[in-house]
Amino acid sequence: MRKQTALGRLAFTVLWGVMAIVPVATGARTPETSPEIISVKIDAGQRSAPVTPYAYGMFIEPIGGLVANSLWAEMLDDRKFYYPVVVAAKDVPPPPNPEGRSGVSYRKWRPIGDENAVAMDASAPFVGKQSPRVVLNGAEVRGFGQSGIGVAAGTPYVGHLWLAGDPGAKVQVALIWGEGKADRRIISLPTPGKDWQRVEYAFTPTRDAADARLEITGTGAGAFRVDAVSLMPADNINGWRADTTAIARSLNSGMWRLPGGNFLSDWDWHGALGPRDRRAPMFDHAWSAMQPNDIGMDEWMELTRILGVEPYVTVNAGLGDANSAAEEVEYLNGPAISEWGTKRAANGHPEPYAVKYWNIGNEPYGWWQIGRTTLDYFMIKHNRFAEAMRAVDPSIVLIGSGAMPDQLKPREVKENPSLESIRHKFGTEEDWTGGLFAKAWGNFDGVSEHWYDTAEKRPDAPADAELIEYARSPSNQVRMKAEIWNIYRQRFPDIDKDDIFLSIDEYAYFGGATLKSALAYAMVMQEMLRHTDFLKMSAFTTGASTMDITPTASVLNSTGLIFKLYGEHFGAGVIPLTVSGNSPQPEQRFPVGYDHPQVRAGSSTYPLDIVAALGPDGRTLRIGVVNATYETQTARLIFDGLAIDGAGTRWLLTGKSVDAVNKVGAPAQVTIASSRISSWGALSVPPVSVAMFEFPISP
580-624 tens-digit pLDDT: 999 999 998 998 998 999 999 999 999 999 999 999 999 999 999
Superfamily classification of domain 88-93+106-233: Galactose-binding domain-like (2.60.120.260)
- Residue 671: CB atoms within 10 A of its CB come to 16
Rounded to a whole number of angstroms, the distance between the first and last alpha carbons of the chain is 23
Please provide the DSSP assignment of 480-499 as one string.
Answer: HHHHHHHHHHHH-THHHHTT
* pLDDT at 16 (0 to 100): 31
* pLDDT at 97 (0 to 100): 73
Q: For residue 34, what pLDDT band results from cuts at 50, 70 and 90? A: low
Q: Are 577 and 620 in contact (CB under 8 A)?
A: no
Structural domain spans, the chain: 13-48+577-696, 57-68+237-574, 88-93+106-233
CA pair distance 392, 386, nearest whole angstrom: 10
Contacts of 479 (CB under 8 A, 6+ apart): 527, 597, 599, 600, 601
CATH fit for domain 57-68+237-574, picks 3.40.630.10, 3.40.50.720, 3.40.50.1970, 3.20.20.80: 3.20.20.80
Burial 606-622 (b: 16+ CB within 10 A, else e): bbbbbbbbbbeeeebbb
Q: For residue 451, what pLDDT band results from cuts at 50, 70 and 90? A: very high
pLDDT tens-digit series, residues 415-443: 999 999 999 999 999 999 999 999 999 99
pLDDT tens-digit series, residues 354-365: 999 999 999 999
Q: For residue 103, what pLDDT band results from cuts at 50, 70 and 90? A: confident
Superfamily classification of domain 13-48+577-696: Golgi alpha-mannosidase II (2.60.40.1180)
pLDDT tens-digit series, residues 613-665: 999 999 999 999 999 999 999 999 999 999 998 999 999 999 999 999 999 99
Q: Are 691 and 652 in contact (CB under 8 A)?
A: yes
Q: What is the CA radius of gyration of the chain?
A: 28
Question: For 21-30, 548-557, 558-567, which range has the lowest pLDDT when averaged over its residues?
Answer: 21-30
Residues of the chain with pLDDT > 90: what percent? 88
| Cα diameter, the chain | 93
Which whole number is the average pLDDT over 466-491?
97
| CA distance readout (Å), 656 to 90, 459, 514, 564, 576 | 49, 22, 11, 20, 31
Residue 15 has pLDDT above 60, yes or no: no
Q: For residue 25, what pLDDT band results from cuts at 50, 70 and 90? A: very low
pLDDT tens-digit series, residues 526-540: 999 999 999 999 999
Residue 11 has pLDDT above 90, yes or no: no
Q: Quick one: which of 50, 45, 9, 57 has its CA closest to 617?
A: 50
Q: Quick one: which of 597, 672, 663 has its CA closest to 406?
A: 597
